[in-house]
């Protein structure tokens, strides 16, 4: 168990050849460079005997590639991003990439700093869910010439790769579902409505109401402040349950759905007897909630692996495709008890 790191030069010296030859052989270019089989065999033999571990940093430095992906999501402790992150890690590993995780907390400033840090760390590319109001930061990536794929969100003003679901259709469908159940007073509780992703959900909801001939309209969309706290949710729910006499609520994410349920439990509002609920996202625990939650499940596994595949193909192509890949996947509606009989 020696302490000294063995380098390619050590192998070369021991064999009386140049370290260039060692490098060729170890990188599988022996054939290509017409190095004799016997020599190749001996290089591998000595490398194994010395337990040679190439210094990756030297390689990165030389090649400019780090085999690293920068991932920026809102918050890794949010189960939605946890599942997504897991898939991204899995697919990246499959392709020989490691991933640096960053949580932006939906702050454009933090996001910008993380982006700079990752660019300076010479990641090969990014997968990210940019926070609201971060168009400038995203555009600035262009300067670095690094490829990136947006996930869960995108900006209409930026022509980029992205992987999202059809949010409009999903919200429309969920709202129609509640209407068919007989609910007429349906509220929509959301946050980050500036993001297309979220706004498409709002649009889908409103359109479904309109198409049904109801005119509750805008009044029933509750846009929570940017950094929403449980108190904000509470205030909204108190109003909805009280004067608004709402019969059902559609939550625009599981994070807000969870907060909503917490508040309802505290206030003694029964689900679905007093108020029925449907929620975007489908974390595992929705099955065991106070009333199992009717959910709009996103194909997180497919979203994550698709994003990574697009990214690595661009990294390996050496430059960005002229054509951005814009992937829109379908979600799955899962009925449970929270939406009533």
Note the residues at the interface with DNA (CB under 7 A).
5, 7-9, 17-21, 23-24, 26-27, 33-36, 52, 54-55, 58-59, 61-63
- Tell the smallest beta-carbon distance from residue 304 to a second copy (Å): 10
Are 283 and 254 within 8 A, CB to CB? Answer: yes
- Tell the smallest beta-carbon distance from residue 251 to DNA (Å): 48
Residue 319 DSSP SS3: coil
Window 47 to 66, contacts with a second copy (CB under 8 A) = 53-58, 60-61, 66
Are 130 and 72 within 8 A, CB to CB? Answer: yes
Residue 253 DSSP SS3: coil
Toward a second copy, which CB reaches closer, 45 or 285?
A: 285
User: Residue 24 and residue 17: Cα distance in Å, rounded?
Assistant: 12
Q: How far is CA 327 from CA 86, 184, 236, 324, in A?
A: 20, 34, 34, 10
Binding to a second copy by residue 19, rule CB under 8 A?
no
User: Residue 329 and residue 339: Cα distance in Å, rounded?
Assistant: 24
- The first and second tokens of residue 8, run together, are 């390619």
- Tell the smallest beta-carbon distance from residue 317 to DNA (Å): 16
User: Residue 137 and residue 116: Cα distance in Å, rounded?
Assistant: 9
- Tell the smallest beta-carbon distance from residue 114 to DNA (Å): 21
Residue 36's binding partner among DNA, a second copy, none (Cβ under 5 to 8 angstroms by kind) is DNA
Contact map string, positions 271 to 290, toward a second copy, x by CB under 8 A: ------------xxx-xxxx
Residue 329 DSSP SS3: strand
Helix 230-241 × helix 254-267 angle, to 10° = 60
Nearest to 320 by CA among 148, 88, 72: 148
Window 152 to 191, contacts with a second copy (CB under 8 A) = none
Contact map string, positions 102 to 141, toward a second copy, x by CB under 8 A: xx-------------xxxxxx-------------------
Residues that bind a second copy (CB under 8 A): 1, 3, 53-58, 60-61, 66, 68, 75-79, 82-83, 85-86, 89-90, 93, 98-103, 117-122, 143, 145, 258, 261-262, 265, 283-285, 287-290, 292
């Amino acid at each position: 168990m020696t302490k000294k790191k063995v380098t390619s030069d050590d192998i070369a010296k021991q064999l009386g050849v140049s370290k260039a030859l060692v490098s060729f052989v170890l990188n599988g270019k022996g054939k290509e460079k017409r190095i004799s089989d016997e020599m190749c065999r001996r290089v591998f033999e000595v490398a194994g005997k010395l337990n040679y571990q190439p210094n990756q940093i030297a390689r990165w430095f030389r090649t400019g590639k780090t085999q690293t992906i920068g991932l920026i999501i809102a918050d890794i402790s949010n189960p939605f991003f946890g599942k997504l992150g897991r898939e991204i890690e899995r697919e990246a590993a499959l392709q020989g990439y490691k991933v640096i995780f960053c949580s932006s907390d939906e702050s454009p400033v933090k996001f910008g700093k993380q982006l700079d840090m990752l660019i300076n760390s010479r990641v090969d590319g990014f997968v990210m869910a940019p926070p609201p109001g971060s168009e400038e930061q995203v555009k600035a990536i262009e300067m670095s010439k690094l490829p990136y794929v947006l996930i869960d969100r995108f900006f209409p003003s930026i022509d980029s790769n992205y992987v999202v679901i059809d949010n409009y259709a999903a919200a429309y469908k969920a709202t129609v579902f509640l209407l068919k159940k007989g609910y007429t007073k349906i509220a929509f509780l959301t946050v980050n409505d500036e993001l297309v992703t979220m706004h498409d959900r709002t649009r889908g909801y409103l359109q479904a109401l309109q198409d049904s001939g109801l005119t509750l309209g805008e009044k029933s969309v509750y846009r929570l402040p940017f950094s929403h706290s449980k108190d904000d949710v509470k205030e909204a729910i108190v109003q909805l349950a009280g004067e608004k006499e709402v019969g059902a609520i559609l939550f625009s994410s599981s994070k807000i759905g969870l907060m909503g349920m917490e508040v309802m439990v505290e206030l003694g509002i029964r689900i679905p007897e007093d108020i029925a609920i449907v929620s975007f996202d489908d974390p595992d625990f929705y099955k065991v909630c106070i009333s199992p939650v009717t959910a709009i499940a996103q194909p997180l596994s497919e979203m994550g692996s698709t994003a990574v595949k697009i990214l690595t193909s661009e990294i390996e192509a050496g430059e960005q495709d002229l054509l951005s890949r814009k992937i829109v996947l379908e979600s799955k509606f899962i009925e449970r008890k929270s939406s009533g009989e």
